[in-house]
Amino acid sequence: MAYYQGNSFYNNIPSVTRNLLIINVVVWLACLLFKPLEFYLALFNFDSGYFKIYQLVTYMFAHASFEHIFFNMFALFMFGGVLENYWGQKRYLVYYMVTGIGAGLVQLLICHLQGITYPVPTVGASGAIFGLLLAFGMSFPDTPLYLMFVPIPIKAKYMVIGYGLIEFFFGVANRSGDNVAHFAHLGGMLFGILLILYWRKKRKTFDFR
């Protein structure tokens, strides 16, 4: 008896991106079932007394709501797979982790500079996701992208610039009730461009394949 296994949608997702998607979803479900888990995974500011070094990694895999994880994972699927195929698994995973940790470091720095001593938990892969968006814009600058509900194509390089400016504006505005870590998003982009420039200088080219 012959057994045929076609190319499924699941198998067509590059392996590192696929595993990142799975880990994020599993951790989110675990936090739903055991809510205190999120407390141990979240990143807390230095001056709160709750900061642990491992949180710079674990916070990336916890999310605050369904909408939070949905949009992050959608962006990871859209941009991550392309970059993984372009760069290769090792370089892609290094980039993802560096931008995520870098975003956390920037968030810690901002909280310290603002003199925040009460606990401020930060969760989510958004910093790494913004790093991926930055990398996509630099790797494929003229690729047309579409925003949800806006049927007008925008070149990737302009969308990256636009997102960066929006995050900077809201970060500086520091509006009451805004619980989004805008400077963490910018931190992911900052560490992303620094790493890309380092790779450019090291290899004299932006072709990582």
Q: What percent of the chain has pLDDT over 90?
A: 60
pTM here is 0.87
Instruction: Assess contact for 154 and 165: CB atoms under 8 A.
Output: no
Q: Does residue 157 carry a pLDDT above 60?
A: yes
Query: From the CA atom positions of the chain, what is the Rg in Å?
Result: 18
Q: Angle 15-33/89-113 helices, nearest 10 degrees? A: 40
Q: Does residue 2 carry a pLDDT above 50?
A: no
145-156 b/e (C-beta count within 10 Å ≥ 16 → b): beeeeeeeeeeb
Inter-CA distances, 50 with 17, 35, 40, 41, Å: 31, 17, 9, 11
Cβ-Cβ contacts under 8 Å for 6 (sequence gap 6 or more): none
Q: Does residue 192 carry a pLDDT above 90?
A: yes
Q: Does residue 171 carry a pLDDT above 80?
A: no
Average the pLDDT over 102-107 and give the result.
Answer: 95
Which one is predicted more confidently, 163 or 53?
53
Q: Does residue 6 carry a pLDDT above 60?
A: no
Q: Does residue 150 carry a pLDDT above 80?
A: no
Q: What percent of the chain has pLDDT over 70?
A: 86
**Separation of alpha carbons 2 and 178, rounded Å:** 58
Q: What is the mean pLDDT of the chain?
A: 87
**Separation of alpha carbons 64 and 31, rounded Å:** 9
Ranges of H-type helices in the chain? 9-12, 15-33, 36-41, 55-58, 66-75, 81-87, 89-113, 126-139, 156-173, 182-203
Q: Does residue 9 carry a pLDDT above 70?
A: no
DSSP 114: T
Average the pLDDT over 166-186 and give the result.
Answer: 73
Q: Does residue 85 carry a pLDDT above 90?
A: yes
> What is the pLDDT at residue 207?
52
Give the confidence band of 181 by pLDDT, cuts at 50, 70, 90.
confident
> What is the pLDDT at residue 175?
63
Topology adopted by domain 23-203: Rhomboid-like fold (1.20.1540)
Instruction: Assess contact for 20 and 96: CB atoms under 8 A.
Output: yes
Average the pLDDT over 86-114 and give the result.
Answer: 95
Q: Can you give the residue ranges of every domain in the chain?
A: 23-203
